[in-house]
Structure 1
Amino acid sequence: MNSSLKIGSIMGIPIKLHITFLLILPVFALVFATNPQPYGFADIGSTTKSYGLSLLTTILLFACILLHELGHSYIAKSYGVEIKDITLLLFGGVSSMEEIPRDPSQEFKMAFAGPLVSLVIGFGLVGLNIAAVIVMPAYEATSLYLMVSILASINIILALFNLIPAFPMDGGRLLRAWYAKRMSYVKATHYAASFGKMFAFIMGVIGLFYNAWLILIAFFVYIGASEEDKATTVTISLEKYIIADVMTKDVLSVPPEMTVEDLSHFMFENKHLGYPVMKGNSLKGIVTFTDIRNILPHERYASLVSDVMTKDVISVPSSSNAAEAFKTMTVNNIGRILVVDDDTVKGILSRTDLMRLLMLSNE
């Protein structure tokens, strides 16, 4: 099931709404509608008016978050980084990038671009309100003044929060970029992640006594820092190896006319959970245990491999490094990948192979 809905494109980047965004939209509107000034519209005219202003403010707020992400994406694209999409989620927005620039100066500029956009929007709205009040003093008592004030405040808070030097906030990437000018990228990531985890621990302790929301944010920060540290270490470690050197070269394959029942026995005998489907020398697809596990036992005799296999084969060339294979597996949520050169299957590489390689390289 696709959990995101594409609503358009900006700068060639698909913009998506995640299902969690659609759930949080009315919640934000409710918060604005039930709080009085200066935090909401509960005491502004009729109920219909207050809810209408609240919904409009919520939509504009997430539009500002989208602009924040576009700030990151614009700088990233200028450095040749591919942006798969921008998705608006429960806690804001996220830009799905091919990779983060390793150059400290590039990463610094890319990370700072988002908060800078939010600051420009926030202080720009403050300036707009001040100018409007000077020209029309009665404007300060209007609901429009209140809405602009709320949006200005939230954008400034959003920028400052993102500048906290802890992953996964932008400040964590700024801190890593600062460290990376003075040490290796892996060590810089480890130091920045450690700072983020320490910050999360302190925030969590404070949350125990003052606000439970801080505990949730602390958990989010701690997990984000840990994942960034682990992912960077894995990626850079795997970049040292070429796929041709770590893949399994003697690839077992199955024909498309094999029954699923025979395939299940074949998997059990050979202790592998995925195989290329070959007809002669022609690659037809790939079949894995995931493809057959939901087929009922009595249906497996009548079902063929060709009925359940995946025809759109994801592959990598043997000349790529192992980090590229790991990234491809992660992005596509698959456990193994075929190694193909000039339409010829040269081998197969599994996530287990890569994890084993990491363990051996660290010994």
Structure 2
Amino acid sequence: MKASVKIATVLGIPIKVHISFLLILPLFAFVFSINPEPFGFQGITPDILNYALSLLAAILLFACVLLHELAHSYVAMKYGVKISDITLLLIGGVSSMEEIPREPKQEATMAFAGPFVSIVLGIILLGVNWIFIVIAPVFEGGAIYRLLLILGSINIILGIFNLIPAFPMDGGRLLRAWYANKMTYVKATEKAASVGKMFAIFMGLIGLLINPWLIIIAFFVYIGASEEARSTTTTVSLENVKVGDIMSDSIISVPSSFTVDELQNFMFEKKHMGYPVMDNDRLVGIVTLTDVRGVSPADRMAMRVEDIMTREVITLPMDADASDAIKLMSRKNIGRVIVTDNDSVVGVLSRTDLVRALTFLRE
């Protein structure tokens, strides 16, 4: 995910923080510092202790969100799903999975794991707080008491809130798993997405009256439901289509010796945005219009394609599923892949080819 920085690796999964997380962290700390007892540190002196406790609470809160996402990821990995990373964002955490398990029981288990961990963690924190109060009543109202109460309460709220059947939240995924026992995976996704959108609209209306944060959450839920439904329909539709059936087999390549100026003119003539770079019938790279734009007009006569091309070319065999191609393009953020057969270049598959195939499949 762009604008994200890796901070650690847990269970072999890269943990990243998005710039939005860095913006929201001080805001959470500020809210905790001005809120009165029991869900804030107002009245704690000196002020430096108040701010330190507030920042600690904000950091630990997002650590709890990370545990929530790690629970999802751990279960998913048990089912053979590869986790690219976990990113902490403005609205919480996101686990980047190559694919959600299609088996309803597996998806339900994975979806429930996060809320379960949050609720259990919340109960443990509140339980420890209660024990401390019983042992030492003077503990009640103090800084540690407030910290445990804040974290325990929010974790329980987080767990319960995520069980709301608003797809693509955890509760929505549980709903899809239930639907998937009764209908096709695509239909189950569409049903769950429709319910998620209704909840998002309702949440947004409530937010207008109570809390503007609900409007932000509702927006992400609505967009997420729409995107997930579209992505699932696209992926499933292309699963039985082979790359070789929809690729462009008229290969237009350029030599690495072309100047960038010659390449620009060639692109203008042929009307394509990217080309494989071939030397003596051997694939040596790929070059796109973006690479050309990275060179100033004054240098385009002197620089050659070999100076700007991408040498690590992403390829797919022609017997691969088209669904694998669209996942690969999304994961690598590229617009085309080179298609090979026994190490020979036989075609190019672009997003346009995939869209065209989907159009025919939906007719």
> What interval of TM-score do these two structures reach, taking the shorter chain for normalisation?
over 0.9
For 1:328 and 1:113, locate their aligned partners in 2 and report how far apart those are by CA, in whole Å: 27
Deviation of 1:21 (Å): 1.6
What's the counterpart of residue 156 of structure 1? 156
For 1:340 and 1:320, locate their aligned partners in 2 and report how far apart those are by CA, in whole Å: 10
Aligned 8 A contact 2:37 2:141 in 1: no
Identical-residue share of aligned pairs (%)? 59
SS in 2 for 1:81: coil
After TM superposition, the structure 1 = structure 2 runs for residues 137-286 of structure 1, keeping only pairs within 5 Å, are 137-286=137-286
User: Deviations 1:103-125 (Å, cap 9, x if unpaired)?
Assistant: 00000000000000000100111
Deviation of 1:307 (Å): 1.2
SS in 2 for 1:141: coil
For 1:114 and 1:342, locate their aligned partners in 2 and report how far apart those are by CA, in whole Å: 44
The one-letter code matched in structure 2 to 1:344 is S
CA RMSD of aligned residues (A): 1.4
Aligned residues: 363
User: Deviations 1:335-363 (Å, cap 9, x if unpaired)?
Assistant: 11111234321211000110011011111
TM-score normalised by L of structure 1: 0.97
What's the counterpart of residue 302 of structure 2? 302
For 1:202 and 1:9, locate their aligned partners in 2 and report how far apart those are by CA, in whole Å: 38
For 1:341 and 1:290, locate their aligned partners in 2 and report how far apart those are by CA, in whole Å: 27
Deviation of 1:211 (Å): 3.2
Moved more, 18-27 or 248-257: 18-27
Deviation of 1:2 (Å): 5.7
The one-letter code matched in structure 2 to 1:144 is I
For 2:269 and 2:135, locate their aligned partners in 1 and report how far apart those are by CA, in whole Å: 82
User: Deviations 1:194-236 (Å, cap 9, x if unpaired)?
Assistant: 0011111122223333333322222111101100110000000
The one-letter code matched in structure 2 to 1:155 is N
For 1:201 and 1:95, locate their aligned partners in 2 and report how far apart those are by CA, in whole Å: 25
TM-score normalised by L of structure 2: 0.97
What's the counterpart of residue 7 of structure 1? 7
Change in Cα spacing, 1:184 to 1:346, as seen in structure 2 (3 Å) is: same
For 2:27 and 2:202, locate their aligned partners in 1 and report how far apart those are by CA, in whole Å: 29
For 1:297 and 1:78, locate their aligned partners in 2 and report how far apart those are by CA, in whole Å: 52
For 2:214 and 2:14, locate their aligned partners in 1 and report how far apart those are by CA, in whole Å: 32
For 1:97 and 1:129, locate their aligned partners in 2 and report how far apart those are by CA, in whole Å: 36
The one-letter code matched in structure 2 to 1:355 is V
For 1:127 and 1:35, locate their aligned partners in 2 and report how far apart those are by CA, in whole Å: 23
- The answer as to 2:44 corresponding to 1:41 is no
5+ residue gaps in structure 2?
Answer: none
The one-letter code matched in structure 1 to 2:55 is L
Aligned 8 A contact 2:38 2:141 in 1: no
What's the counterpart of residue 133 of structure 1? 133
What's the counterpart of residue 287 of structure 2? 287
For 1:205 and 1:19, locate their aligned partners in 2 and report how far apart those are by CA, in whole Å: 28
SS in 2 for 1:232: helix
The one-letter code matched in structure 1 to 2:293 is R
What's the counterpart of residue 77 of structure 2? 77
For 1:215 and 1:13, locate their aligned partners in 2 and report how far apart those are by CA, in whole Å: 31
Moved more, 342-351 or 112-121: 342-351
For 1:210 and 1:90, locate their aligned partners in 2 and report how far apart those are by CA, in whole Å: 20
For 2:292 and 2:160, locate their aligned partners in 1 and report how far apart those are by CA, in whole Å: 50
After TM superposition, the structure 1 = structure 2 runs for residues 320-359 of structure 1, keeping only pairs within 5 Å, are 320-359=320-359
User: Deviations 1:119-152 (Å, cap 9, x if unpaired)?
Assistant: 0100111111111222222221321011000000
User: Deviations 1:150-195 (Å, cap 9, x if unpaired)?
Assistant: 0001101111111111122111111100000010000000000000
